[in-house]
Structure 1
């Protein structure tokens, strides 16, 4: 039997399911980028508050493919969340998503939903590349193909900025207050990035519209934290066996979850704090801790671990050399750059991270984390690099992480096998790496000239280029595992 509203009564009593009448829920949120992370994080917080706050149901939207809609449509938007740890597994069915739209199939349907007066929040998990921005500067990439297309055809957009600005225009024309734009992606000052991008896009469309969006659209920043590996066929089979129901797209995650939100909303907000979210005046200290410690460590392990032959993060951190590398990276290179939030225990946070990385129940693949590195490196590693260089401090482990990315994007691993490099700049990176070959003295400067990643400052600083080139030489000469051991 397929999971859906009618089948909820067939679930074992031990499995949690929506505690509210789903028929009473109305949509107050449109979420762009209805992927696994959103369904393991924001949709769960929302599910927890709908019993007493039913005006905040979610309409999800895929900006690219129909996969999520095709999976969840026959299930009435329901899906199973599996929370796994060394202590076992807890299952629940989440019901906060009432509808999933596919933007390329019918952009007008999505714009109509975003223009409804009762929709007061448009949230996003579109990954770094979905903002169509320059990761090194945070500015809108005006040459991005989706931006060029949307400026030429603004009433039928394809990009997240295009949809947001067109919906805001329609609301203004109809006399409806603007929604709050709530980004939940791993970007430093993500609200400010989103604001900068949509303001510029609106100004490019029309100066009068730009002035309106700049004055009226609110984009609070957030920090989100939960590890969510890609769902596998094995996950589907195990969850079906436990629930007795077929679920086309369950989600697997860890017990830990955190959501810190800047308390700045245009027309009301859900009571997410009652489900454990934190509303604060300034998110930046929290996001720096998370981006630099968790995400930075993840990227360090993803590239080096993949090259060393480790399939998952848990396997990588179980290696004593990698455990010491990550511990030293967090303690000696990242922590000195942090402004720790009031009341936060950074030592306990780092200890918890190491335990989370080692969760064998989560098969979080190094290859998955390695995706989109050209978009991730500026936030996860290079921001820390800049702070370290400004302080005149060493960057040995950071440089090794950057060099590992360079080695990874050549598309050939240490055994000579092809790497499936998934990155919006993959074609350009491939062209660069093939033109110079596997020579660190040529490869490092060639990749450092990719301004969208490294900006103009880092390639001109020998305190950065020297350690990165030296680390890349070690990776070619000794391999990732020995390079990690030699770095201790």
Structure 2
């Protein structure tokens, strides 16, 4: 096995592509908060290709981790021991995999242990973009009112101004304030999370935080900082210890932090940047004034489709997406949800055929080479369901169209929260934003109250008696008859 660090880039195995540029000439121009697998396979991959172009060497990335603890410290040590290099394996549905080393990340800062270094980075005039993958639920913006919630413990702590900062809002807002005082241009803030209108949500969050500290600062950020909307798309599974062993065996690299992704990748973004940007259009990024339309198509087809197959898939005993797609009923449910409910409600971007888009998504879900975990998709559903399903449910209820499949999906989610499939085998899904009371209501509580919990409140489902009754009938059927029989009932009822 070949160790992975700057000193071994000229000695990589023949099947592994090295960064096609001199890393010693790179300078950091981007700070990224939340260095997970998706960022490493998506945004960092695009920047990696940019760095090989002429006059692009000042767009290197510095990753920033916000969490403390042993796991976060181990992650930081892994990055540093490999000079922030890692391998990206691309697994197409057909054909051979390919492996390349990504060199776009130049450093990794662990904010709880290196707050001064984070401050220095964010106030450096060379730093011109801050990007985020902090999860759908990490923005603390109420979907109904659009207000930023200041009562989260870490947010409240940062607003006091006492002690070390804990949140991205604290670090970014402080840096923008310092840049304003020093006459340095503000950086652009780019959300790369699966949120509709993610730039607008990010603006609401950071301006809301700043307003809670100093309304003059909030007004300045609102007027001077760009928050472009962007759509991001690439299926990137979690990497277990077994997956890592398989990837390193295939690549020949002793890589502690390998990542794997599908061949498909898409990034659509508004061309609104405060102080320049990389030449992303040269490496496949689409600049568009219709990002909001792209967002709704992707979120309501791909992301909602993922949830629609994942919940019954887990209950049926499957653990991977492609495995669930081999079930005779699951693809039928998914196709019926998209064809009969979602697509008729969508306005596509220019030159986008929704049927072609749906077919591409279904092909991606069936990619056997991906080994994408259903538990990955099901985890943190309390953040995902409001983003991916709310608008569809609202429109279905407003128009009086068939609500049975959305009701079944929510009932299946409630059953998944028991973390046991119909054969009695356990699985684990994490719900960091769902308290015990809401969890128990979804599992077995009063159905109207269950549909009125915070993640589902904006959908309005709890106010529609027919939806409540259908949800409860499917929840009982899943408990008494199991997922296979209940799914058959759903498909029979919606076959017309």
Aligned equivalent of 2:84: 77
Partner of 1:294, secondary structure, is: helix
How has the CA–CA distance of structure 1 residues 6 and 192 changed in structure 2, closer, same or farther, with 3 Å as cutoff? same
CA distance in 1 between counterparts of 2:196 and 2:225 reads 19
Q: Does 1:146 align with 2:123?
A: no
Aligned equivalent of 1:50: 51
Match of 1:450 among 449, 453, 457: 453
Q: Deviations over 1:233-282 (max 9, x none)?
A: 23322332333320000101100000000111111111111110001113
How has the CA–CA distance of structure 1 residues 211 and 47 changed in structure 2, closer, same or farther, with 3 Å as cutoff? same
CA distance in 2 between counterparts of 1:296 and 1:27 reads 36
Aligned equivalent of 1:477: 480
Aligned equivalent of 1:61: 64
CA distance in 1 between counterparts of 2:215 and 2:162 reads 14
Aligned equivalent of 1:182: 190
In the TM superposition, residue 136 of structure 1 has moved relative to its aligned partner by 5.3
Match of 1:191 among 165, 183, 199: 199
In the TM superposition, residue 416 of structure 1 has moved relative to its aligned partner by 5.1
How has the CA–CA distance of structure 1 residues 262 and 485 changed in structure 2, closer, same or farther, with 3 Å as cutoff? same
1:127-166 alignment runs, 5 A limit: 127-135=135-143, 137-153=145-161, 156-166=164-174
1:14-25 alignment runs, 5 A limit: 14-25=15-26
Range with greater deviation from structure 2 (283-292 or 231-240):
231-240
Range with greater deviation from structure 2 (310-319 or 3-12):
3-12
Range with greater deviation from structure 2 (103-112 or 443-452):
443-452
How has the CA–CA distance of structure 1 residues 210 and 279 changed in structure 2, closer, same or farther, with 3 Å as cutoff? same
Work out whether residues 132 and 147 of structure 1, in 8 Å CA contact, stay in contact via their aligned partners in 2.
no
Match of 2:462 among 459, 463, 470: 459
Partner of 1:82, secondary structure, is: strand
In structure 1, the gaps of 5 or more residues are none
Aligned equivalent of 1:398: 406
Q: Deviations over 1:374-424 (max 9, x none)?
A: 111011112111122222211221111111112222455445565533112
CA distance in 2 between counterparts of 1:424 and 1:438 reads 16
Residue correspondences, number:
483
Aligned equivalent of 1:205: 213
Partner of 1:320, secondary structure, is: coil
Aligned equivalent of 2:494: none
| TM value normalised by structure 1 | 0.94
Partner of 1:335, secondary structure, is: helix
Range with greater deviation from structure 2 (373-382 or 127-136):
127-136
In structure 2, the gaps of 5 or more residues are 492-496
Aligned equivalent of 2:262: 254
Aligned equivalent of 2:5: 4
Range with greater deviation from structure 2 (138-147 or 444-453):
444-453
Match of 1:354 among 357, 362, 366: 362
Let me know the Cα RMSD of the aligned residues: 1.9
CA distance in 2 between counterparts of 1:307 and 1:136 reads 32
Partner of 2:190, secondary structure, is: strand
CA distance in 2 between counterparts of 1:155 and 1:464 reads 48
CA distance in 1 between counterparts of 2:353 and 2:418 reads 39
How has the CA–CA distance of structure 1 residues 275 and 393 changed in structure 2, closer, same or farther, with 3 Å as cutoff? same
CA distance in 1 between counterparts of 2:275 and 2:283 reads 20
How has the CA–CA distance of structure 1 residues 67 and 135 changed in structure 2, closer, same or farther, with 3 Å as cutoff? farther
Q: Deviations over 1:428-452 (max 9, x none)?
A: 2x33454x6964xx34233223134
